[in-house]
Amino acid sequence: MKKVFAIVALVAAMFVAGNVQAQNMVYVGYAPETFAYTNSSNNYSGFMAGFSKNVAISKGFGVAAGAQFRMNTKSSDAFFGFGTGKSTQLLIDVPVLFNYSIAINRDLAITPFVGPMISFAVAGNTKTTFGNTNFDHNWYGDNGFLNRFNLYAVFGGDIRFNDFNIFGGYRLGLVDIDNNNNVTLKTNGFFVGLGFNL
């Protein structure tokens, strides 16, 4: 974990120094998440929006860092069809992605990327409704069962045409985020998005 923070600090220092060419991008995307327990899994719908700055290190090679907001949601029946439940999780992610741009021509480039992503859960909660009665369970805090911090390995690719980007990939959770010693929970999921270079 210390190495990941060191990488993030190094990249931030490069940006502050204004050391080399940089390209900014804003983006939105679809990013569902699977909560994979030891013997089962729960699938959530997910959406993201963010900003990244790609700094060229040498010809073709770059490192992109930024921040994104992500939201996971799931609705379901509660307790064998009696009542309804809705779960929502809000996260802030900081990806640091090393990339290599392959220029096809002046307007088109393909860029594979890979790197770590630190994630912090701002909020998480399940609301269960029985008739007119609501029950709220906070995932975090004193009575929560999850850890707010997570670390992912991210890999994928981007296709840029002029100032537009279509990208996709996969994020693999590396940390057990369940506080219960008898349960292992890791998260993962694919993502696709559309970006625009500023």
Predicted local confidence at residue 15, as pLDDT: 47
What would the 3-class secondary structure string for the chain be?
CHHHHHHHHHHHHHHHHCCCCEEEEEEEEECCEEEEECCCEEEEEEEEEEEEEEEEEECCEEEEEEEEEEEEEEEEECCCCCCEEEEEEEEEEEEEEEEECEECCCCEEEEEEEEEEEEEEEEEEEEEEECCEEEEEECCCCCCCECCEEEEEEEEEEEEECCEEEEEEEEEECCCCECCCCCCEEEEEEEEEEEEEC
**Positions of the chain with pLDDT lower than 70, given as ranges:** 1-21, 77-82
* pLDDT tens digits, 140-172: 988 788 999 999 999 999 999 999 999 999 999
Predicted local confidence at residue 65, as pLDDT: 96
Predicted local confidence at residue 133, as pLDDT: 79
Predicted local confidence at residue 182, as pLDDT: 85
CB 70 within 8 A of CB 32: no
Predicted local confidence at residue 81, as pLDDT: 61
Predicted local confidence at residue 16, as pLDDT: 47
**Residue spans per domain, the chain:** 2-72+94-116+146-197
Predicted local confidence at residue 3, as pLDDT: 52
CATH of 2-72+94-116+146-197 among 2.60.40, 1.10.287, 3.30.2010, 2.40.160: 2.40.160
- Flag whether the pTM goes above 0.75: yes
* pLDDT tens digits, 102-111: 999 989 999 9
Q: From CA 70, how far away is CA 74, in angstroms rounded?
A: 14
